[in-house]
Amino acid sequence: AEARGVLQAEVTRLRTELAHSQQELTGLMRDSGDGAGDDQADTGTKNITREHELALAANAREMLEQTEHALERLDAGTYGLCEICGRPIGKARMQAFPRATLCVEDKQRQERRG
C-alpha cells in the first residue's frame, strides 16, 4: 500500500511536469518565429533552451513509463521481484528506487554489457 501511494503520487507529479514541459515547448516554438532580427547568441540561446526542455520532457516521459510499469507489477503481484532472476530485489533498493525492476546483481550485469 505504501509503495502504491508513492508510485501514484509520482505518476501525478510526472504528468504535471510533462504538461508544463509541453506548455513551455509550445511557447518556445511560438516565440521562435522566423528569428528575424536575432543575432547568433539569441538564436543559440533559444536552441539551447528548446533542447533543454525537450530533454526534460523525454526524461519525465521515461520516468512516467517506468512508474506506470511498477504499478502494473504491483497489480500483477510481481512488484519487488527481479524481472531477470525472479528473486526479491531488496527492501533498501526498492525504497531508494521504487521503479526498480532488477536486483542489484542483474542491474550491474546489464550496465557492464552496455
pLDDT tens figures, 2-32: 889 999 999 999 999 999 888 888 887 776 6
Residues 6 or more apart whose CB falls under 8 angstroms from that of 90 comprise: 103, 104
Confidence band of 38 (pLDDT split at 50, 70, 90): low
Q: Higher-confidence residue: 67 or 39?
A: 67
| This model's pTM is above 0.75 | no
With CA atoms as reference, report the closest residue to 21 among 58, 64, 46: 58
CA–CA separation, 67 and 64 (whole Å): 5
Collapse the DSSP code of 87 into the 3-class scheme (helix H, G, I; strand E, B; otherwise coil) and give the result: coil
Q: Looking at the DSSP assignment, which residues form a beta bridge with residue 81?
A: 88
The C-alpha cell that represents 13 in the structure block: 507529479
How far is residue 97 CA from its own chain's centroid?
Answer: 12
| Confidence at residue 79, expressed as pLDDT on a 0 to 100 scale | 95
Residue 43 has pLDDT above 80, yes or no: no
Candidates 61, 65, 53; CA nearest to 21 is 53
